[in-house]
Amino acid sequence: MRVKTLALATALMMAVMMPPQSTARAQDGDPESGPDSGREMGTRNWTDWNITIGLGTAYEPVSPGVDEEEFEILPFVDIEYLDRFFLKSERGLGAYVLRSQDGPEYDVGFAIGYDAGREESDARRELDGLGDIDPSAEAIFFAEGEVGPVELELELAQGLGSDGHGGFRGEVSAGIEAPVFDRLALGAGPFLTFADSQYMGSYYGVTSGQAARSSRFERYDADGGLESYGIEATARLKLTQNWSLIGFAAYTRLAGDAKDSPIVENEGFFSGGAIVAYTF
């Protein structure tokens, strides 16, 4: 799991997705559906819902490569309806257009996600004169599937509207998750991210106007290409029949024009966090 807070999107869309009473079943074998896989409870009206919600904290740089970190309180939401529509903290509100019924698992779908942007006030010295990158919605296409024990995932996202980064980004990742014992499962795998010049310029570039306002930076044009690569790890501990503890961590190494940006002070950095989640 990459650390990316979707608090605003979650708050706005939970009212759309949540049933009026807390009764649902968890999807068997899905590590994101919660600790009580395959269970059904409550009235028959809501057995088409899979609901896991939680709350946690995350630690990450205020912007990739910037030498200023922050802790955030973040909601965790993983809701599915009819195994077709979903609201997920890490992906947003969307739907699966293809889903395996048996054999190797695979999913293909679309979503509206959320990019939290960046605020200069979070690191005034490190981001001197650069201003804010406004939060914005993203149109997301994703595809994921299993090849033997390995889960592969592709995500492509385009920023929407004139606010925010307004660019295109993508991520490719692979991972393996395995149970250590009945209550604990561990996972790990590599990832890489890439983006176009609009996205790279927003997060790593310095325009003439920004350079004029800044006492630290000169103009810098960041071209599109490989943005970063790294490795991430997850752990899920089942505490009770309904409660679970989820931990996640990642090491990211910037590359290309992102690495060479004058904004970047740390080419490699860690992020991570923990969430307590409840499956209905």
C-alpha–C-alpha distance, residues 212 and 202, integer Å: 16
Whole-number pLDDT of residue 163: 82
Instruction: Write down the residue that tokens 């295109």 correspond to.
Output: 168
Task: Give the pLDDT confidence of 206-262 residue by residue, as tens digits.
Answer: 999 999 999 999 999 999 999 999 999 999 999 999 999 999 999 999 999 999 999
Calculate the alpha carbon distances from 189 to 56, 172, 219, 230, 234 in Å. Answer: 22, 11, 36, 9, 9
Instruction: Concatenate the DSSP letters of all residues of 229-271 into one string.
Output: EEEEEEEEEE-SSSEEEEEEEEEEEE-HHHHT-TT-S-SEEEE
- What's the average model confidence in pLDDT over 75-96? 95
Whole-number pLDDT of residue 161: 84
As given in the structure block, the two tokens for residue 2 are: 């990459």
Task: Give the pLDDT confidence of 163-211 residue by residue, as tens digits.
Answer: 899 999 999 999 999 999 999 999 999 999 999 999 999 999 999 999 9
Q: What percent of the chain has pLDDT over 90?
A: 78
Residue pair 80/124 in contact (Cβ under 8 Å)? The answer is: no
As given in the structure block, the two tokens for residue 193 are: 């991210």
C-alpha–C-alpha distance, residues 104 and 106, integer Å: 7
Global pTM? 0.83
C-alpha–C-alpha distance, residues 74 and 56, integer Å: 5
pLDDT tier at 7, thresholds 50, 70, 90:
very low
Lowest-confidence region among 29-43, 80-94, 102-116: 29-43
Please report the domains of the chain, with CATH numbers, ordered by start residue.
7-279 (2.40.160.40)
Residue pair 191/171 in contact (Cβ under 8 Å)? The answer is: yes
Whole-number pLDDT of residue 45: 54
C-alpha–C-alpha distance, residues 68 and 61, integer Å: 6
